Structure 1
């Protein structure tokens, strides 16, 4: 004699409600990504970050689409579980009568035909008195605040009186026939709005953590329902949910790694600007003994060839080129990690065709640049999860279906 099928409709309906709520959360995360992950109106602020504009735009679009798909299939599966609850309304009468009795025609609003052997499509009433399946994790989508660009403040803080010297140099060299802006010459190759990088990274982190929490919420609901539903339909649902949970949880480490990577680029640019400013300050200090803007101007008139007495041109040129060499070194450092970020973002839009070794190599600057052992271990763990891209590639392409005919009532054995 076959074992009695366990299918408690109040629990299955409660599970369906949980999926409806989780699906709504995920669709809200998708909207959050679309609204806040693209580059803001202030832009990235410099040519050195220009190659990231298109990858940022494409990544925001692909993340939004991917998450919206997960949200829709989850919510639609919740609707299917509500229908399943009506199918299991009477275990002694394993027919579609209860479901059809709770279904109305989408156009006319009238009751559908009372067939016992098949489901008649239409609008299905919510199953009454479902068991509550509360979410263990609340989803908070607070957009990170956009800090204003701080390039000018950093220059002023680091260079001090160099700004006055720069104005004097511009005025005097203009008199000589060709204006020279030392600060622009030194800093223009590395200037950027690094705070926008931090904002974008934090947004991906918030979205990723929220997706991961949504996956945990779904996992909890499936676990709670387990003892109250068995049979082939239940096993099929658990398989579907397992793939969906893995896809949701994959987004968590992805968001955190993006945030860490963009923060490293931001730090390199900010530190590079500071180093260049300090070098510039030291150069000016060695070039002229100044006490006031007026004295600077008067001294420069004497030192600029064609205006007054010639200075040691070779020494001046050497010091300037030392600064230029430093800036070029800084540019190389920034471009190296920027290019890795660009390739990584492009891969995340369609994570196929690359092995775990490629992912680890692209993210090596992230993992190697952290001194704190605990934080580095957590990041290495996140990177390994990101590299397991099968979790997102194997996500369900459509909602769960309980089956037709006698399938909903089939035992597992």
Structure 2
């Protein structure tokens, strides 16, 4: 049974959702909003990103939104992540004799490099397999020549903690990186660097559980060079299995809140994305060891600046308190949407200020993204976002941040129409407390 603030907010969210078509689509989409099948699929299996959706999602979604009959498709993802939208968009079109033009934006420098590597592999496939094998031999030679050389360990305390990483393993990871930078070309360097990044976790006593890095004292770390050779062998096999594509694509290191300027006057048939969910997960923190091993940051200050450039979806850092919606014509509509949610944050809670910042900041950021996307969608195009809602607080002070409803209403405010909310799955552990504890696909069309 819904209780306290949960019940009050359910009524608030229902007032907006009552105008929309909401459907239980769990049979069709329940396994597709999580990375089901990705760990076995060529290219997708290069690095496990728990936050990704399935590589099979787009095949199911396209006919549902009326785009399967298009001759070619132009697809954008302003939260490109590991590149699932981009790769699956190309595969969906190529498999039906069509071509795709895909465009992505990603803010995290390591994850951007991951998307870039996979996209290049999907486009070129076996055409670069020969050069990949030849450059691997060069990398092996440079690695052997670096034997015994000692590199400066990055200033990240996690890499210097001997409980987490053996010093000799850190040195080996750095040797591999320097060998890659010396022995590879621009066409394959990102692929080799992603292969290295995938070695970091198994060569440590740390484990990502989706929310944080966990210390596993009983784990026996693997030796980096051995793991790297296994990874590049898998990559080479995947390249050999991938036919070159006639489609095209690119992914920018940039901000989803500026996607229209990055798109350079292009427009799109489909915009598909899954933004960071409004919860306590800081993706910069979770993937920091890979980023530091690759040299994405030179100092703690650089990493902090990166965290502050991200979407205001978590309270791990203090973000700038500037809200663009206050200077727009949408201010009163946005306030009507978020004020009842803010009012449910418990007074005196040690997280009170941070949680309020997340609610207001997330709404502001998502409004900016939706406004930007409205500028680049074709008149008959569709936008679909995948997002999960979350429960916060404890006891009678619990409250739900229904991101699907919040974003759907923000979309209406700035020129979209909510075509349908496809409920993909209920969050079973807590679903008895609110009908809005769910993960959904929200389908929009230009109003």
User: Which one has the bigger helix percentage?
Assistant: 1
TM tier, shorter chain? under 0.3
What is the TM-score with the length of structure 1 in the denominator? Answer: 0.24
Higher strand residue share: 2
- The structure with higher relative contact order (CA 8 Å, sep 6+) is 1
